[in-house]
A and B are shown apart, each in its own frame.
Chain A
């Protein structure tokens, strides 16, 4: 990367599935890279590959995106996937030998680039036992990307994390600027937030915990304001957040901005794009993330 300014690194995580981690990650990246001059890189770290498959699928034709499919096949054949990078990192050799370029990073658009997931990540937990051996993987990989002359400078890096605490999540959480937690207006999603807030420190220690930003996703609205039910859960999560910040000594903030529930957003990745009326929601969310990161 030519710029000396380091990118803002944000990991989207929630132990509860279905809260919208993947969609939010993609929408944020898409909007930032298409409505501003910023350039972004996005990682899919979930072995379920939802983000990778959504990008691969062309909803209009029902077939796989030819350009991505060809690129992905070659990346796997040449052992240039995230799993291969991790494999190289954990080898008992002095240097992390894994050259990075556009054979490892896919160009969705000129300003929005992507590192896809692979199914092999499913078995990662069985193959790698030393979590401290993996801890610095993402930090070192980002360093390689920053120092690569082939790659451009990135203003932001987004990580779509799995709905569980994996070795890769550990590696991301120990080096990112912000953990972004989407929550839905229901009890189980709120409980997921409470669980992360009250257990993350124990898992990350002795490494410093990143800042944690929580926001309401899929918020039902009435007359342009969240419904009373959504407001109830917003108050509850605010309370959980305040209590955890106090008892766990963590920097956690419940954001004022929220993402409204809209049917169209589910098809955003596979071809529909972000519904125009939702662009402002994501821009507001990004503004709060940046303010919080400082």
Chain B
């Protein structure tokens, strides 16, 4: 329940924004699928071109919804989740992030941008790369440790 009408409006606006973000994501995915289908079946699907969709990922001119600190906190959560074996969930959460938020995360992780603006796929891959680095840094396979662990399990 909301204490004031203003609070309700704020919450509703936030929800609308989240739904819009999701729709943009879905739209983006549909466009990609459509583009692939067109490439695969160029003679069957030419008519779809005249339906007004110009193709490509929709342009997101909105500003990010997360701060630098929130992005880093989010990253820590991703690493923790991935270490616990929930890599698919992490992947899903990153893939459904809005582009402006993804850019904030990308920047905060210090991934070099390069000369050209990276595609969304490159952004995603590089963020996954950082997560893999973080996981590898805290993974140890020393023989003594493995042996000790086996001894403990035997006992």
Q: CA–CA, A227 to B107, complex, Å?
A: 10
Q: Which residues of B contact A235 (CB under 8 A)?
A: 72
B144, chain A: closest CB distance, angstroms: 5
B44 to nearest A CB, angstroms? 47
Cα A190 to Cα B110 in complex, Å, equals 15
Interface residues of B in 104-155 (CB under 8 A from A): 107-112, 130, 133-134, 136-138, 140, 142, 144
Q: Mark B19-37, 1 if CB is under 8 A from A, else 0.
A: 0000000000000000000
Instruction: A231 to B133: give the CA distance in the assembly, Å.
Output: 15
Instruction: Please tell me if the beta carbons of B130 and A232 are within 8 angstroms of each other in the complex.
Output: yes
> Is A240 a contact of B138 with CB atoms below 8 Å?
yes
A78 at the B interface (CB under 8 A): no
- Interface: A202 (CB within 8 A): yes
Interface size class for chain B? 10 to 19
The residue on B at minimum CB distance from A186 is B133
Q: Is the CB of A228 within 8 A of B144?
A: no
Interface residue total, chain A, C-beta cutoff 8 A: 20
Q: How far, in whole Å, are A243 and B137 apart by their CA atoms in the complex? A: 11
With A198-B142, A199-B142, A202-B142 known as contacts, the answer to whether A232 contacts B109 (CB < 8 A) is yes
Q: Is A191 an interface residue (CB 8 A)?
A: yes
Tell me whether A228 and B138 are in contact (CB under 8 A).
no
Interface contact A236-B112, CB-CB below 8 Å = no
A236 touching B133 in the complex, CB below 8 Å, given contacts A228-B108, A228-B110: yes
Residues of A within 8 A of B (CB): 187, 190-191, 194-195, 198-199, 202, 227-233, 235-236, 239-240, 243
